[in-house]
Structures are given as structure tokens and as C-alpha cells.
Structure 1
Amino acid sequence: MPLRCIAIDDEPLALEVIRDFAERINEMELVAAFEDAVSASEFIRTTGNIDLILIDIQMPAITGIQLIQSLQHKPLFIFTTAYKEFAFEGFEMNAVDYLLKPIAFERFEKAITKAIDMHRLKQQKPSLPEGSLMVYAEYNMVKINYVDIEYIESVQDYIRIHIKNSKPIMTLLPLKKVLEKLPEQLFQRIHRSYIVAVNEIQAILHKKIKLTSGTELPVGESYASFIRSWKQQGQ
């Protein structure tokens, strides 16, 4: 199924360029285009079924950044702008890509391909069953729900369990032993020092993965089969 996209830009010519480019890519469908962020925001909230937003940053009334920040459930998004100075903020918000105008088709196609790959990864994520990991930390037994684990890091004889929206938990346990305690369909070892929650993977990059939090982790050579299997599943 094609990636359902909308475009938002206060410049009609910029929207025409995006329409033309979108027609040349079979894997995407431009379902609507808007010249103001207010109308687009209402469409997103009422329609809901949008996979990707192509959005300008500098617009009257509401900027592209403000619109994305206002969305409770954020689709994938790509910023399109003539201003380089917003690039850092765009990537801090976990944008798929940042396209500088005038946009060349090859660069546009590359960004859309990246969005398609990320969308496939999201579709592949398994639902998290109830379950938890029990570890001994700070003289107490601590219960950590699977759904709260982002990734686990080996630190000498200890492991550091990175928890979403909370501080990490340290415990004296080898990485191999904790992996045996975790359901294999939900957690994957990607490096001699890292285990990652599969549901937290946002993108697979060159020799590393990016999590939904923006954290990037290396993938070891001996775990490269994990990368290949995910890419094959997405094709």
C-alpha cells in the first residue's frame, strides 16, 4: 500500500513541485496539499490516516515546527524549507529528513525512500504482551515492565537498563544472562554491549540503529544478520 502523504507549504509553486515529484514515485500517494498549517492541522486531526507529512517551516499563523509539536499522535514528517538554520531543530524533533529548497528530485526520492523504510519498521513492530523483568538493584528487587525498557547496556560486570521517561537502573548481571530472561520476539542483541527493545527501533542506518527517542546504537559485525532480516521483512 502506498505511503499516504500530505504536503503543507504557503508557496503554491513549492506545492506544485511536490505534486510533480509525488506522481513519479509509485510507493507514495499525495492525498492532500495545503497552503496554511491551520487547515492542514484540522485535516490531520479529523482524518487520522496519514503516514507522512511534508511540511514547510516558515509559514504565517503557525510554523511547521509548531504544527508538528501540537500533534498528539505524530505521523512521520519531512521538513522542506529554504533555511539551513532550522536543520538542527528539525533533527532534534526526529524528522525523517530535512530538504532544502530548491529541492532536486533525487534528493526528494531519497527522503521518501527513507520514510517508506521507517514506516515499514513501524508496521512490523509486535504488540507488547504483559510481562516484566525482575532485577536486584539498590538493595531491592525491582520490577521493570517490558513495555518500559528502551535498551540495555553492558557496563563491565553490570548492566544499565535504560527506561523510557525514567533514570536507568544498574544491576550486577551479565548481558547474556539478562537476554535469557527476555522474550526473544521483543528484544534483540545487536552488539556485544547492547540489547535493544525491537518495538523502540525507528530506523536502521549504516552499521547502527536509531531508536524512537533519537538514541543511536552501534550494530556489531557478528549481529549484522539482524539488519538483513529486518530489511528483507520490509521488502
Structure 2
Amino acid sequence: MKNSKLYRCVLVDDDRISIDILTGYISKVPKLNILRSYQSALAAINEIDVNDEIDFLFLDIRMDISGIDAAKVLRDKVKFIIFVTAYDEFALNAFNVGGDQYLVKPVFFPKFLETINQVLKRNNAAMIE
């Protein structure tokens, strides 16, 4: 049986280029759909609601408000948090606030896809491949 689940994604990164790259990757995957993107963690915190039914939150760390702090606030409003950052030294903190995965920039499409499928598999959800 083919699962037609569409995963809803939100991107939060103060770097427009990073948002554009992730948007391009998500557009290559029919089962992923971008709900919104933000260049401010504060805006994301103020606007994201549990009723948005967000599956994936792609979250940078170094922004107006730390992605670690944003994750603390947003953890119960999204299913999965994938940190996407240029800084590998925050990995332990990211997992301590409930991050599901941690990608270090630059992120290439095969690693992006593999990471999403790892999260879905670990949670017994329908894979995207």
C-alpha cells in the first residue's frame, strides 16, 4: 500500500541562502511541503501554533534568538526538529532540547534526504523515498 502522507515543513534560518537551498531540496521531494519559512526565530516562536500540524522544523542555531532556545519553546508544537547549522559544537545541546537530528552546513541533498528518512524510520512513519 502506497502512503500518500504529505509532510509539512517550516524553515527557520536568518541566512536567506540557507533557506533557499533547503527550499530547493524540499521541492525535489513530492512528499515534503513547505508551510512557511522565517528569517527570525522570534517570528517563528510568535507564529507557530500546535494547530499548524508541522511535521519538520528545520532550525538554525545562531540567530536573533538561539535555535536551542527556540527549540525549547517550539518542541511541543512540531513533530520533528532537525537542526541545520554551521556549528558542530552545539550538537549535544540540540539533542538535549529534543532535537531529532543535526546537520552541519553545507548540507547536500543526499544527506538531507537520508536524515529525513532516518527520523521517519526511527518514529515508524512513512518514508519519503
- Give your verdict on TM over 0.5: yes
TM-score by length of 1: 0.48
Runs of at least 5 residues in structure 1 that lack an aligned partner in the other structure? 122-233
RMSD between aligned residues: 1.9
- Pair 1:95 & 2:104 matched: no
* Greater relative contact order structure (CA < 8 Å, 6+ sep): 2
Q: What is the deviation of 1:90?
A: 1.4
Q: What is the deviation of 1:42?
A: 2.1
In structure 2, the residue matched to 1:67 is: 70
- Pair 1:21 & 2:25 matched: yes
| Separation (CA, whole Å) in 2 of partners of 1:111 and 1:13 | 20
Question: Would you say the 8 A contact 1:3–1:116 is kept in 2?
Answer: no
Q: What is the deviation of 1:94?
A: 3.3
Question: Would you say the 8 A contact 2:75–2:98 is kept in 1?
Answer: no
| Number of positions where the alignment pairs a residue of Structure 1 with one of Structure 2 | 122
In structure 1, the residue matched to 2:82 is: 78
SS of the counterpart of 1:115? helix
* Superposition map of 1:20-39 within 5 A: 20-39=24-43
Tell me which of 49, 62, 77 is aligned to 2:53: 49
Q: Which amino acid aligns with 1:2?
A: L
SS of the counterpart of 1:73? helix
SS of the counterpart of 1:16? helix
| Separation (CA, whole Å) in 2 of partners of 1:89 and 1:72 | 14
Question: Would you say the 8 A contact 2:50–2:77 is kept in 1?
Answer: no
Identity %: 27
Q: Higher Cα Rg: structure 1 or 2?
A: 1
| Separation (CA, whole Å) in 2 of partners of 1:77 and 1:71 | 9
Question: Would you say the 8 A contact 2:71–2:98 is kept in 1?
Answer: no
| Separation (CA, whole Å) in 1 of partners of 2:36 and 2:11 | 7
Q: Which has the higher helix share?
A: 2
Q: Which has the higher strand share?
A: 1
SS of the counterpart of 2:84? strand
